[in-house]
Amino acid sequence: MKTILVTGSAGFIGSNLVKRLFKDMQEGTIVGIDNMNAYYDVSLKEYRLKELETLHSQLTLNSPLSTINYHFVKGSIADRELINKLFEEYHFDIVVNLAAQAGVRYSIENPDVYIESNIIGFYNILEACRHHPVEHLVYASSSSVYGGNKKIPFSTDDRVDNPVSLYAATKKSNELMAHCYSKLYNIPSTGLRFFTVYGPAGRPDMAYFGFTNKLLKGETIQIFNYGNCRRDFTYVDDIVEGIVRVMKKAPASPHPSPKGKGDRGVHTADPMMYGKLKERAEEMRKNPTEAESVLWNALRDNGLGVKFRQQHIIEDFIVDFYCNEYKVTVEIDGKYHDRPEQKKSDEERTARLNELGYTELRFTNEEVFHDLDNILKKIKTFCSGTPSPSGEGRGEAGTPLLQEGSEEAPYAVYNIGGGQPENLLDFVNILQEELLRAGVLPQDYDFDAHKQLVPMQPGDVPVTYADSSALERDFGFTPKITLREGLRKFAEWYKEYYGS
Ligand SMILES: NC(=O)c1ccc[n+]([C@@H]2O[C@H](COP(=O)([O-])OP(=O)(O)OC[C@H]3O[C@@H](n4cnc5c(N)ncnc54)[C@H](O)[C@@H]3O)[C@@H](O)[C@H]2O)c1
């Protein structure tokens, strides 16, 4: 039973991903977040959200046993407090970060929003994954990181140090930031460099959509580089298929010791057992004992809430409080802890945790109620890295789990493209034919009168073509939808949506 966060869920790719998750998942929780910004027509985002709501209610109606929870939150990933709150509340297993300010040209006039969403927003997601460990963080990068690279096809082994737009620079920065967090905090992350994604209810700022709007209004479309551009177009269902496959398989962690959900595979050999433990942990989190509530509130009041998570699973134990950063667990002895069987299991857990490299701090209910300051002092001492009298402290404050020079990070970046670069003129011809077929434009439409061949625009790249062989090798993924099939679906949707 997974809990998944999809950021940018009202966006083109995000909404299609949520749709697909509704189909694939038997149970679990999907949380979507989007700030619904007006970069392009907001009603399109609202339409996508409405579709998701309808699909979700149909799911519940058609199969009353379906236990897929879906929540949409309107808000920004740049809002640190909101992001922390969501991670604290839901304890996500998988995070797919698609929220971003997209568009190359828009970044020339509006640089601020790129820094806010793509840099600060992504940083907030990374920080939240650091403090609330996840199994896998998958995030959108872009083919634009290849800048003006000449070598074709673009390979993830190529140097990408010469971005030609701020948008590209933010996407490349995301990859660097993710690498750093993967390495330092053992956060399994995969970046996906998307190549021109298209499809129904797509982005109006993209060429195929913009061309259609213009042709319909009787305006002239401009075809850059005299049509001699080649692009790797990827139909949205193919992209979603790729994302879904990638989500399920996080890059291998070089650190099999439990430092968070990223290593869940070694927490328990039995997935059934894990499911039960997770349910139990959630139940315990919802119904804390009085002592647990008192300690949790005190941790939060003292700024430690962000470091700790409640009821964390390590192998087949549930620990009361857990801090990833310092590999420490906090246990509160309840009223049954004097019973022999409880005592035995406590001892077993303590011994196993020690073997795994954790320090277990244990306190009684009594101590929590009457000596809270002392408990906090001990926890703070531990987390500040100053060795406590018992020698429990560990390193400098904020010491990462993995040190520079240690093994490789659980980190990967893949290209995900259509697999076949298409000439822009051929693309426009197929689009024309499909717009006629779907009845978007009249049969006698004079295309030649509405087409203008113009030179290249600054910042644009003549050829973008992905080498997606690594994705095929590691995930068996190859795009399936031809350009004609994809543009047909777009044209049919356009006709239905705009009713032209
Ligand atoms: N569509 C493509 O061809 C393409 C190509 C390369 C990369 N990408 C990347 O894929 C991702 C998804 O792209 P898309 O085509 O679906 O774009 P999109 O604009 O339709 O979706 C992005 C969504 O994120 C939301 N958003 C933006 N800033 C936000 C913030 N601060 N907080 C919360 N939500 C925010 C927007 O409202 C939007 O709904 C983006 O990261 C984009 O950069 C897309």
**Domains, in order of start, for the chain:** 2-201+233-254+410-418+463-481 (3.40.50.720), 258-385 (3.40.960.10)
- Classify each residue of 232-254 as buried b or exposed e, where b means 16 or more C-beta atoms within 10 Å of its C-beta: bbbbbbbbbbbbbebbeebbebe
The three state secondary structure string of 8-21 is CCCCHHHHHHHHHH
Residues whose CB falls within 8 Å of the CB of residue 428, separated by 6 or more in sequence, listed in order: 211, 221, 223, 227, 451
Task: Find the angle CA(279)-CA(285)-CA(286) to the nearest 5 degrees.
Answer: 90
SS3 assignment, position 411 = strand
Q: Which of 325, 320, 401 is nearest to 361 (CA)?
A: 320
Q: Which of 40, 167, 181, 235 is catalytic?
A: 167
Its sign, for the CA torsion 469, 204, 164, 170, is: negative
- Residue 46, C-beta contacts closer than 8 angstroms, at least 6 positions apart: 10, 36
Give dist(CA 45, CA 401) in Å, integer.
Answer: 40
Phi then psi dihedrals of residue 36, to 5 deg: 55, 40
Residues 6+ apart with CB under 8 A from 372: 294, 295, 298
Each residue's pLDDT tens digit in the chain (500 positions)?
899 999 999 999 999 999 999 999 989 999 999 999 999 999 999 999 999 999 999 988 888 777 899 999 999 999 999 999 999 999 999 999 999 999 988 998 999 999 999 999 999 999 999 999 999 999 999 999 998 888 889 999 999 999 989 999 999 999 999 999 999 999 999 999 999 999 999 999 999 999 999 999 999 999 988 998 888 999 999 999 999 999 999 998 654 433 344 333 334 435 566 667 777 877 788 788 888 888 988 888 887 776 777 887 777 778 888 876 677 888 888 777 777 777 778 888 888 888 777 788 888 888 899 889 888 888 887 777 654 343 333 333 333 433 333 357 899 999 999 878 999 999 999 999 999 999 999 999 999 999 999 998 776 677 778 999 999 999 999 999 999 999 999 999 999 999 85
Nearest atom, ligand 1, residue 34 CA: 34
What's the pLDDT at 217?
96
Give the residue, by CA position, lying nearest to ligand 1 atom 43.
102
What H or E segment, with its residue span, contains residue 69? strand 67-74
Q: Three-state DSSP class for 490?
A: helix
Distance 127 CA to ligand 1 centre (A): 20
d(CA 72, CA 354) in angstroms, rounded, equals 41
**Catalytic annotation present for 167:** yes
CA nearest 352: which of 428, 267, 278?
267
Q: Specify the residue with its C-alpha closest to ligand 1, atom 12.
A: 98
Ligand 1 atom with the smallest distance to the CA of 197 is 3
User: How far apart are the CA of 101 and the centre of ligand 1, in A?
Assistant: 6
Using alpha carbons only, give the angle 153, 157, 162 rounded to the nearest 5 degrees.
80
Helices (H) and strands (E) in the chain, counts: 18, 18
Cβ(197) to ligand 1 under 6 A?
yes
Q: Is residue 76 within 6 Å of ligand 1 at its C-beta?
A: yes
| Structural contact between residues 135 and 93, judged by C-beta atoms closer than 8 angstroms | yes
Does ligand 1 have an atom closer than 6 angstroms to the CB of 36?
Answer: yes
Task: Kindly report the protein residue whose alpha carbon is nearest to atom 26 of ligand 1.
Answer: 99
Q: Which atom of ligand 1 is nearest to the CA of 203?
A: 20
Residue 405: the pLDDT is 39
Residue whose Cα lies nearest atom 2 of ligand 1: it is 197
Distance from Cα 133 to the centre of ligand 1, integer Å: 24
pLDDT at 257 (0 to 100): 37
CA–CA separation, 249 and 185 (whole Å): 18
11 C-alpha to ligand 1 centroid (Å): 6
Long-range contact pairs involving 404-408 (C-beta distance under 8 Å, separation at least 24): 406/183, 406/254, 407/254, 407/255, 408/183, 408/254
pLDDT computed for residue 140 by the predictor: 98
Ligand 1 geometric centre to CA of 144 (Å): 14
Atom 32 (ligand 1) nearest CA: 76
C-alpha of 194 from chain center: 14
Measure CA of the first residue to CA of the last residue in the chain; give whole Å. Answer: 44
What does the alpha-carbon distance between residue 491 and residue 208 come to, in Å, rounded to a whole number?
Answer: 10
How far apart, in whole angstroms, are the C-alpha atoms of residue 14 and residue 88? 22
Task: Label residue 483 exposed, middle or buried (CB < 10 Å: 0-12, 13-18, 19+).
Answer: buried
